[in-house]
Amino acid sequence: MEYQALYRKYRPATWQEVVGQKHITTALTNQIKHDTISHAYLFCGTRGTGKTSIARIFAKSINCEHPQNGSPCGKCDVCKALSDPNNLDIIEIDAASNNRVDEIRELREKVKYPPIHGKYKVYIIDEVHMLTDSAFNALLKTLEEPPTYVVFILGTTEVQKLPATILSRCLRFDFKLISQEELEGLLEKVFKDSGIAYEKEAVSLIARLGEGSARDTLSIADMCVAYTDRNVTYKAVVEAVGATDKKVLHTLASHLLAGDVTNLLQVVDDIAKSGKNLSQLAKDLAAYFRDVAVVKTCDNYVDILKLPMADIEELKALAKYDINMVLGVLKKLSGLEQEFRYTQNPRALLEVVLLNIVTSVNELKPNKPMALDAPNSSTITKSVNDVKRDYSGSKVFGKLLISLRDNKEYKTHAMLGSVTKTIISGNELDMFVNGEDNYKSISNDDNLNVINKYLSQIDNNLTAKPILNENKKSLNVEEMLRDQFGDMLTIR
């Protein structure tokens, strides 16, 4: 038998099967009940929240001869005719590929012909914001004086791109992200129905990864089912989707907040060696700090997070840290995806970002100033002692990175991910760069100007000088630490 994706197989056919969007299904079924159907609807919302499914159910419901609780019966002649995707009464148009005025003019021509099977002819236009201006105008003319038997359902993920003239003629419904609880319910139903064994925690994890979209949730479920041979365990889901194990995230988060550079970089080393996508790791780590913030700030965190109790206990252990520290880390980890897209060396980028966080975490600790001009300030971490330098290159470099990020110079910031060592010699900040391409990019006048612009705000006398690293092999943790913090460093 041909395999059918879960998302297609479990597309709802009745109002009762729709997951979430109660505010919309109730309003629409009431309109059907009271026969107060509008001629134009606008469905707004993120992908995978049920816009097209609800549009199809609505189109069939208003045509069905014997609706059951407002839903299409699926048995009458009209229902049967409309279940053929080639029927001429429910017309679906994807504006992303049919955005020209000619297609809308053709639509206007065909609108003149009444429905063949039922009472209404329904046009479902997906991604309507993709229409060209002239196509919008053509559509508007139809919306102004539609024949009584025509219903338009316009769907969009970007409502702000629609002209006011269209908005004012439509009855608008805003689709919400589907809740974790609703997605879990859907998954359990689908698994039970398909005879697939599952762990409750696995279901929670898949629902979380679905991020409010039924389509994404079921696509991930599909992948997990294939990977696990119909027994969906938590561990298997983690492996299948490449998510980071919560234990690893907890360890990383603990080292970050404690300012423990040695162990932090050791864990990153282990993860990098396992071949994991480091961009995904950064994303997972950001999500983990979000959970810590939830535990710290919300009384009902158990209900919100829906995690196994062991995971909650670990989060509580981190909640002892100051909220400003937690939020500070979260802020620095958010929005890194952009930078990962630019970098050629994700590992170096991640390490620089994490070191950068440790520096700022230490700044936030009471009585532990990390000011640039503080002589003998006792360093980045409690396990790295005796840096006697009063003005280190790495400290200036750390400030530079923060400044570039804060000023949204993401591309330049990401480029500096390939810098392995910085030393101040005279009025120069020597930056040792891995890789010839990276060296060329950083040495480019435009980029160097950006770097020097922000460097001069930190120290007016310094200018950056990129130097190509002769040694091309990647550094191990201890070498990297020595490179960053100098020879006077003692690693316990």
Give contact residues for Zn ion (rule: CB under 5 A): 64, 72-73, 76, 79
> What is the rounded distance in angstroms from the CA atom of residue 105 to the CA atom of residue 139?
8
- In the complex with Zn ion, the residue whose CB is nearer, 72 or 398, is 72
**Nearest to residue 80, comparing CAs of 99, 63, 97?**
63
In whole angstroms, the minimum distance from the beta carbon of 65 to Zn ion comes to: 5
Q: Which residue has the tokens 């994490």?
A: 354
- In the complex with Zn ion, the residue whose CB is nearer, 70 or 466, is 70
- In the complex with Zn ion, the residue whose CB is nearer, 20 or 72, is 72
In whole angstroms, the minimum distance from the beta carbon of 29 to Zn ion comes to: 15
Write b or e for each residue in 374-397: b if 16 or more Cβ atoms lie within 10 A of its Cβ, otherwise e. eeebebbbebbeebebeebbbbbb
Specify the DSSP class assigned to residue 195.
T
Q: Which two tokens stand for residue 252?
A: 């990383």
* R_g of the chain computed on alpha carbons: 29
In whole angstroms, the minimum distance from the beta carbon of 32 to Zn ion comes to: 12
In whole angstroms, the minimum distance from the beta carbon of 59 to Zn ion comes to: 12
In whole angstroms, the minimum distance from the beta carbon of 93 to Zn ion comes to: 24
In whole angstroms, the minimum distance from the beta carbon of 81 to Zn ion comes to: 10
- In the complex with Zn ion, the residue whose CB is nearer, 58 or 288, is 58
- In the complex with Zn ion, the residue whose CB is nearer, 76 or 88, is 76
- In the complex with Zn ion, the residue whose CB is nearer, 61 or 156, is 61
Q: Which residue has the tokens 């970007």?
A: 158
β-pair partners for 62? none
> What is the rounded distance in angstroms from the CA atom of residue 166 to the CA atom of residue 40?
10
β-pair partners for 171? 41
For residue 424, give Cα distances in angstroms to 18, 206, 266, 363, 459: 63, 49, 27, 22, 11
In whole angstroms, the minimum distance from the beta carbon of 226 to Zn ion comes to: 36
For residue 189, give Cα distances in angstroms to 179, 185, 490: 16, 6, 57
- In the complex with Zn ion, the residue whose CB is nearer, 64 or 401, is 64
- In the complex with Zn ion, the residue whose CB is nearer, 73 or 488, is 73
Q: How many CB atoms lie within 10 A of CB 358?
A: 24
| Alpha carbon of residue 402 to chain centroid | 23
Sign of the torsion formed by the C-alpha atoms of 191, 53, 2 and 222: negative
In whole angstroms, the minimum distance from the beta carbon of 40 to Zn ion comes to: 24
For residues 268 and 351, is the Cβ–Cβ distance under 8 A? yes
